[in-house]
Amino acid sequence: MVIIPRKKPVLENLNIYYLDIKKLLEHYQGEIGSGGAYFKSHAAEGVIFFDKDDLLNAFFEAKNLDLTGPQAIERLLNAGGKYNFTVNIYKLSVEEVYFWASIPSAEKMYEGLSTEFTDLEGLIRKMGSEKLTGYIDVSIEEGKETGIIFIINGKIVGGSYSWDKQEPAPSQKNQELLIRKTKESSATFSVCRIPRKKMKAEGESRTVPSRPSKAILSMLEELMVIFENAVASRKNMKTDFTKLLKKKFVENAEKYAFLDPFAGEFDYSNRKIDFSGAASDKELIGAIVVSIQELAQELGMRSELLDACAEWSDKYSKQLESFSVKL
């Protein structure tokens, strides 16, 4: 995938037939520091990203041929008159160059998120709050239409859409259209993050993340089993308890990030809780109790839940009181 951000080029539509491309890039490395050189012809296209010292990465596409990295750089530097390229040179900040050049090395955070459990608008907000540097890849109706939203440090910097063939730009109109399409049709989302190496400052304090105790996990496990049994006992309710629970956790994930089913930190299956995230006893109890209360209310089971949990509430009355939690 050849991607270049939509910016005003410092050099535009230069035919490279007689040019030494390597010297051209060396000139602009000294002139603008960091940027991208976009090559376009009827038969092929490509881009080379550079900073003041190096050619960082490249992408090349022609019929039945896709190249990246050193092979793409070599092909573009020696293109000469073979493809009759015109070239545009774009000035980019160091952060932008790193981002666009690193797209192929992005790591998948979430894959195959369904509109059944989440929505694109909420996912964009979540990635903004988490200061994502990467992109959200959207597939509508199994790839009939697609979109990619590019994000740097939580801020949308561009988008690529199957119905708009122009270079990526932070188009609000296209973004809103993409969101609307995902609401009207089935869609899946994948979130990819570009790894950013950060050196810890010398002497920087390191805090050990809180982890809930085994006793609290066992206590919550009992509560989940009681609630699952209560839902299953309703003969007129044909529903998948796990699916209901995941939907509720998605709704509450903005407040309790460790509940997000797609993060895989909290899992309840086969009547067992598996938790690998970071949360204190109080945080985890609060999150689970609130989620169960809300779900019971939505199912019209509030009184049934209280009756079913009477013994459980008595058994763990001291813990509930110490954490100011009331079922």
DSSP for 281-302, written as a single string: HHHHHHHHHHHHHHHHHHTT-H
167 burial via Cβ count (<10 Å: 0-12, 13-18, 19+): middle
Last residue of a domain, one of 44, 78, 101: 101
CA-based nearest residue to 135, from 106, 112, 166? 106
Domain that holds residue 152: 106-193
Residue 327 domain flag: no
pLDDT at position 254 is: 78
pLDDT at position 201 is: 29
pLDDT at position 203 is: 30
Residue 254 domain flag: yes
187 and 237: one domain? Answer: no
Residue 3 domain flag: no
163 burial via Cβ count (<10 Å: 0-12, 13-18, 19+): exposed
CA-based nearest residue to 276, from 263, 293, 290? 263
220 and 306: one domain? Answer: yes
Residue 94 domain flag: yes
Do the Cβ atoms of 113 and 250 come closer than 8 Å? no
Considering its fold, how many domains does the chain have in total?
A: 3
Last residue of a domain, one of 101, 119, 153: 101
Residue 65 domain flag: yes
315 and 220: one domain? Answer: yes
131 and 72: one domain? Answer: no
Residue 2 domain flag: no
149 and 224: one domain? Answer: no
Residue 261 domain flag: yes
Last residue of a domain, one of 35, 66, 101: 101
pLDDT tens for the 327 residues of the chain, in order: 677 776 789 999 999 887 889 999 999 999 999 999 999 999 899 999 999 989 999 999 998 899 988 999 999 998 866 788 999 999 998 888 888 888 877 888 888 888 888 889 989 998 988 888 899 999 999 889 999 999 988 898 888 888 876 655 557 888 999 999 999 999 999 999 887 643 232 233 334 457 889 999 999 999 999 999 999 888 777 778 888 898 888 888 878 888 877 677 888 989 999 998 888 899 999 999 999 999 999 999 999 999 999 999 999 999 999 888 888
223 and 313: one domain? Answer: yes
Do the Cβ atoms of 309 and 301 come closer than 8 Å? no
